[in-house]
């Protein structure tokens, strides 16, 4: 496939990345998973929001959009991770609070309470800011229908010729451990990998349960149940945790095409049924 080197004007890129708000915008307005029932009104006129409890299939949002194709038919445009998990499931259900501007909030893997002493030893070097052994991270592999190549930030997911792409996020929640027998993050990196003309990760986790696929939005600490994201995203969230070796994660943070070297904050869980799609 043709690589598009021409990018949007700086003003358009700023608007796009501001909407995604993964990287540069934080908010002091955090809402706990129970607060929507306390009388605060939800935003109106928006499509379904993310993150959510993937074990709860119910949703009453009436905005319907076609789900994006499966990831092998899309181009990988970005990889990044959050501390802790933005989503909630039976296997990652320990509530860590809202955190500070979203950092340190979210949900932790249940297995994180039963780690060995050696798994919690700090490595000699760690190039990943905001993550340590024992933490939970949620990794997002972002895919786009645009004819683009992987790069820094979510502006890499579109081009001047493709300003409204189908977006899909493949998601895995990990417990970070100091253990070489755990998953090696390099196996899930891009590394210039292409399949049938599409940019892809080398592989994605396949033994952590059937992914839960649903319609949602972008996340990021800017958004709440009162300040909704306008963007439409297909999510594919694996329901089981796995262990990831911090040494391999650190090597990825040391240098990658995405220029990622730190954990991002989490958006508070969306629980208002009016802001959730039904999971089929």
Mean pLDDT of 76-86: 97
Q: What is the DSSP letter of 83?
A: E
pLDDT at 151 over 90: yes
pLDDT at residue 204, rounded to an integer: 98
pLDDT at residue 108, rounded to an integer: 98
**C-alpha to C-alpha distance for 75 and 168, rounded to whole angstroms:** 10
- For residue range 206-228, list pLDDT tens digits in order: 999 999 999 999 998 999 999 99
Assigned token pair, 215: 């319609």
Q: Would you give the distance in Å from CA 226 to the centre of its chain?
A: 21
Residues 6+ apart with CB under 8 A from 63: 46, 47, 48
**C-alpha to C-alpha distance for 84 and 103, rounded to whole angstroms:** 8
Q: Would you give the distance in Å from CA 40 to the centre of its chain?
A: 26
pLDDT at 99 over 50: yes
Mean pLDDT of 249-256: 97
pLDDT at residue 258, rounded to an integer: 96
- Phi, psi for residue 197 in degrees, rounded to 5: 85, 0
| Whether the predicted model's global pTM rises above the 0.85 cut | yes
- For residue range 155-183, list pLDDT tens digits in order: 899 999 998 999 999 999 999 999 999 99
pLDDT at residue 241, rounded to an integer: 98
Kindly report the average pLDDT of the chain as a whole number.
88
pLDDT at residue 131, rounded to an integer: 95
pLDDT at 128 over 90: yes
């Amino acid at each position: 496939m043709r690589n598009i080197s021409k990018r949007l004007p700086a003003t358009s890129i700023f608007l796009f990345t501001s909407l995604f708000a993964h990287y540069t915008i934080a908010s002091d307005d955090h809402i706990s998973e129970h607060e929507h029932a306390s009388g605060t009104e939800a935003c109106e006129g928006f499509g379904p929001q993310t993150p959510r409890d993937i074990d709860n299939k119910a949703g009453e949002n009436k905005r319907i959009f076609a789900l994006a194709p499966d990831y092998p038919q899309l181009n990988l445009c970005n990889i990044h991770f959050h501390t802790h998990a933005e989503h909630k499931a039976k296997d990652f259900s320990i509530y860590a609070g809202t955190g500070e501007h979203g950092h340190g909030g979210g949900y932790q893997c249940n297995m994180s309470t039963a780690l060995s002493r050696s798994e919690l030893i700090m490595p000699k070097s760690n190039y990943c800011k905001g993550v340590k052994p024992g933490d939970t991270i949620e990794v997002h592999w972002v895919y786009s229908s645009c004819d683009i190549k992987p790069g820094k930030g979510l502006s890499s997911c579109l081009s001047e010729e493709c300003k409204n792409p189908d977006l899909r996020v493949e998601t895995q929640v990990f417990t970070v451990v100091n253990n070489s027998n755990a998953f090696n993050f390099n196996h899930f990196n891009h590394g210039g990998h292409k399949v049938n003309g599409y940019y892809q990760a080398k592989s994605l986790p396949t033994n952590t349960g059937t992914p839960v696929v649903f319609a949602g939005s972008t996340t990021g600490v800017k958004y709440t149940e009162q300040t909704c994201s306008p963007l439409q995203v297909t999510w594919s969230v694996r329901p089981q945790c796995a262990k990831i070796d911090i040494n391999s994660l650190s090597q990825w943070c040391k240098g990658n095409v995405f220029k990622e070297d730190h954990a991002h904050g989490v958006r508070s869980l969306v629980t208002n049924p009016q802001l959730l799609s039904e999971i089929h």
